[in-house]
Amino acid sequence: VTITDVAAAAGVSRATVSRVVNNLQTVDPAIAEKVQRVIAELDYKPSGTARSLSLGITQTVAMIVPNLGNPVFQQVLRGVTIAAARDGFRVLVADSQEDIENEESIARDVRRYCDAVILCSPRLDGDRLVDLLHAVSPAAVINRSSQSGTVPAVTVDYAGGVRELVDHLLGLGHRRFAYLAGPPRSASNVQRIETLQRLAAERDLTVEFIPCGHTMDDGFRAWDDLQTRAATAVLTFNDIVALGLLGRLAEEGVPVPERLSVAGFDGIQASRFSSPPLTTMAFDHVAMGESAWAALREEMTGTSRHGDLIIPPVLVPRRSTGSMS
Amino acid sequence: VTITDVAAAAGVSRATVSRVVNNLQTVDPAIAEKVQRVIAELDYKPSGTARSLSLGITQTVAMIVPNLGNPVFQQVLRGVTIAAARDGFRVLVADSQEDIENEESIARDVRRYCDAVILCSPRLDGDRLVDLLHAVSPAAVINRSSQSGTVPAVTVDYAGGVRELVDHLLGLGHRRFAYLAGPPRSASNVQRIETLQRLAAERDLTVEFIPCGHTMDDGFRAWDDLQTRAATAVLTFNDIVALGLLGRLAEEGVPVPERLSVAGFDGIQASRFSSPPLTTMAFDHVAMGESAWAALREEMTGTSRHGDLIIPPVLVPRRSTGSMS
DNA sequence: CTGTTAGCGCCTTCAT
DNA sequence: ATGAAGGCGCTAACAG
């Protein structure tokens, strides 16, 4: 049942039906009421697709994440979704499953069905990312600088965060560190590795880099490698990995923090409840999503300032870090 | 730049462009190649909206959840998203924020832009839900029976789960139970209350029902009420609430399980890492999402059997439950 | 194998 | 205040 059916049944033109549906301009109250009645009788529901085509806008944006299983991205998604809904926008989600090709093809494909795209923590490297952003513009990037400076980005100060974490651990007397590295393509991972290398060069400390991953299982298994190292404090790519490691350490009977201090990153809710509770650098993920939406909104309306918004994470010291006994 | 531009520039008809874009039928290789070149030069991207209108399908489904902050719904969303992507479908998410009116209006609205709807744990009551499902059909329901039996549903056997949990606690010697109840509109909450009432009537045990909620904070605060009760074992609406309660008990210095046993429901990842680790009834959330997609798919293709799929949760006994010391 | 024609369902000037 | 007409961009018969 289309607008034409309603028009016919009500004995008016389609234009009039359109007007009452969008309660536009002045329509004779009597006519309007009749149309409404017919709409109800026929159970008419305007086609959003047709409306979008006609108007040239979909009121929909897409958000692409590397992995919907990660609580951080979930919370960011929540922030985006709620903020977008406030502005009358719907959001399309896609999980690239950490696959670069997926990420790119999904973004390009989905853009044909929406008005803008938010790339969350894209794994794509420099040039390809710039190209992609250009292609799907308007766009916004989360958890990574936009590179080109031509697209708004909301990021976390990972370098500063790592420094703060290291300071915290230095204060506890640690000098030998290990870093359980995340996905090599992850920009935030690279940023932290570089920061740690710099710190190792500048200050009285050593860092061993251990390829690990981003999942709990990766953290769990990391002990196999980690136990051969001399580190007394370990930083992880994220809280998930840290929790996996803590689980393993508990199984192995390795006392934390007496024999090994563990520090995560992100501040996911579960970090509060692990045993021991996890020291981490936390930031507000939902707010991050909301900020990304705000930035994208400006981009869409052409009022963008294009500055990267950098969120400072805050140290949440808990019992997983301490002095050696 | 539209299909018309490409056609003009390539000196062919729009139909031909359409054919090469969708590589349909046989198109003269020379022509095809030329069209491809023009497409590249002009950077032409077909409009998905126009395509949808013409085809009458969007290849998109919507999923509506009461609260995207809940790890369970997130994982279910992940399952749906990945399974749908395999079949070439996109997914639109919406967070109703536990608001019934939202839930209904979002569902009706969003349906105009997609081909089907998945309602996750709808809070709407009986008749209104049936009406809504009818209105947005094809649809599928998660975490609740479809009521009408006219729509596929994927649910969890909450009654059986609660019984198993109670048996576990009875075995540990508990007789006085408390239940921290969730949102009154939640079907699974109601189901558990009824089951517990039945058990209290049939067997040698008592249950106190404490209105609580679904968030960690709700669980945290529940102790204010709970501490005045005689219960030695407490069941919660979900793991989140249980974790909040555990956090509070740790703060208050109440030993778990020596003074109070705590059991959750859902089996979220964090339940493994709390201190003490949480006893819970677990099920596979991602699989639940995948099943929902499969059911919806059948519904869309008209091959549906309309049976409710009931997932049996499994008891994961951990250290948050035990005998009184 | 390719072009022509006619919609998909809605919105929006422009007249009346 | 209402209607007529054209177009949004694409696809799908039907001819040729």
Q: pLDDT digits over B95-153, tens only?
A: 999 999 999 999 999 999 999 999 999 999 889 999 999 999 999 999 998 777 789 99
Question: Which of the four pLDDT bands, split at 50, 70 and 90, describes residue A189?
Answer: very high
**Distant-in-sequence, close-in-space partners of B28: CB < 8 Å, separation ≥ 6:** none
Contacting residues of A for B113, CB less than 8 Å apart: 48-49, 52, 58, 60, 90
For the stretch A242-268, pLDDT in tens is: 999 999 999 899 999 999 999 999 999
B77 touches chain A (CB under 8 A): yes
Asked whether residue A97 carries a pLDDT value surpassing 80, the answer given is yes
Give the whole-angstrom CA distance, residue B234 versus residue A274: 20
The reply to whether residue B49 touches residue A49, judged by beta carbons under 8 angstroms, is yes
β strands within A33-112, DSSP E: 60-65, 90-95
Question: In this structure, is the CB of residue B1 within 7 Å of any atom belonging to strand D?
Answer: no
Asked whether residue B284 carries a pLDDT value surpassing 80, the answer given is yes
Distances (CA, A) of B176 to A176, B173, B203: 51, 10, 12
Query: Residues A210, A222: contact at Cβ < 8 Å?
Result: yes
Asked whether residue A325 carries a pLDDT value surpassing 80, the answer given is no
Question: Which of the four pLDDT bands, split at 50, 70 and 90, describes residue B221?
Answer: very high
What's the CA–C1' distance between A54 and D7, in Å?
8
Place of tokens 């009121």: A59
- Position B145 scores a pLDDT of 86
Q: Which class for B92: exposed (0-12), middle (13-18), buried (19 or more C-beta within 10 A)?
A: buried
The reply to whether residue B53 touches residue A68, judged by beta carbons under 8 angstroms, is no
The A 18-47 residues near strand D by Cβ under 7 Å are: 19, 25-28, 30-32
End-to-end CA distance of chain B: 75
pLDDT over 70 for what percent of chain A?
Answer: 100
For the stretch B288-320, pLDDT in tens is: 999 999 999 999 998 877 789 999 999 999 999
Q: Which of B166, B176, B321 is nearest to B245 (CA)?
A: B321
A48-55, long-range: CB < 8 A, 24+ apart: A48/B112, A48/B113, A49/B49, A49/B52, A49/B53, A49/B58, A49/B112, A49/B113, A50/B53, A51/B112, A52/B49, A52/B113, A53/B47, A53/B49, A53/B50, A53/B53
Looking at the complex, report in whole angstroms how far the Cα of residue A260 sits from the nearest Cα belonging to chain B: 17
Q: What is the CA radius of gyration of chain A?
A: 25
Degrees, nearest 5: CA angle A53-A134-A300: 55
- Position A184 scores a pLDDT of 93
**Mean of pLDDT values over A68-92:** 96
Question: Which of the four pLDDT bands, split at 50, 70 and 90, describes residue B34?
Answer: very high
Contacting residues of A for B75, CB less than 8 Å apart: 69
Asked whether residue A111 carries a pLDDT value surpassing 80, the answer given is yes
Phi, psi of A118, rounded to the nearest 5 degrees: -115, 120
Name the more confident of A27 and A234.
A234
Give the whole-angstrom CA distance, residue B109 versus residue B116: 12
Question: Which of the four pLDDT bands, split at 50, 70 and 90, describes residue B324?
Answer: confident
Question: Which of the four pLDDT bands, split at 50, 70 and 90, describes residue A87?
Answer: very high
**Distant-in-sequence, close-in-space partners of B234: CB < 8 Å, separation ≥ 6:** B177, B178, B179, B180, B226, B245, B260, B261, B262, B263
- Position B116 scores a pLDDT of 98
Q: Which class for A95: exposed (0-12), middle (13-18), buried (19 or more C-beta within 10 A)?
A: buried
The A 8-67 residues near strand C by Cβ under 7 Å are: 14-15, 18-19, 21-22, 24, 44-47, 50-51, 53-55
